[in-house]
Amino acid sequence: MVELRMATVSDAREILDIYAPYILDSAFTFENELPPLEQFAGRIETCTKKFPWIVCEIDGTIAGYVYASPHRDRDAYQWTCECSVYVHSGFHGKGLARELYSILFSMLKVQGLRSVYAGITLPNEPSVRLHESCGFEWFVTYDNVGYKLGSWHKVGWWRLQLNDFDLQPSPPLKLPDLDPGLYQTLFTQAARRIGERL
């Protein structure tokens, strides 16, 4: 059975288990140490006050997750955000990341976000293909911007425009202000598509 739903703090352990190999064994994230479980649960709680954090469960196990986070903290940046998606190694190749991103971007669009950014440690051709297949366009690469696992790494930045840049934008809606019926429909449709590919 496939279920997509909003993440809760009680999901922190399973989500952190998915994230851990990316921290410990790769430079795809520039975090160097596993965050304590309570701190990680706090990230979920803080995020979902404003942005979606969505998990995909397959037969009761979290197979992947996606979330948005602020691009910068100052008010002028409130119409932009960053995105991240992670999939358990046992569920790669089943289209989960693309489905999770599709839901996230649909929700962010309704919230009133204008642009979503993705930073990709390079080289990472699978991630580049994923983001460009979702409509992202590359705009800059920072050379030697991060040092991890004995090497300097470059990070490319991609942008997806969600809404027009009108000159009197209303503040974006916060996640709790969205109609749950909107995303429940998205969750149900994506769960069906994922189930058909398993």
Say if CB 170 and CB 112 are below 8 A apart. yes
The residues that bridge with 74 in the sheet, in sequence order, are none
Q: Mean pLDDT score of the chain, rounded to an integer?
A: 96
- Give per-residue pLDDT as tens, 2-33: 999 999 999 999 999 999 999 999 999 999 99
Tokens of 99: 């489905």
10 Å Cβ neighbour count for 7? 22
Phi, psi torsion values for 195, nearest 5 degrees: -60, -35
Question: Which H or E element spans position 191?
Answer: helix 180-197
pTM for this entry = 0.96
Distance CA 68, CA 51 (A): 6
pLDDT band at 182 (very low <50, low <70, confident <90, very high): confident
Distance CA 131, CA 168 (A): 29
Distance CA 53, CA 4 (A): 11
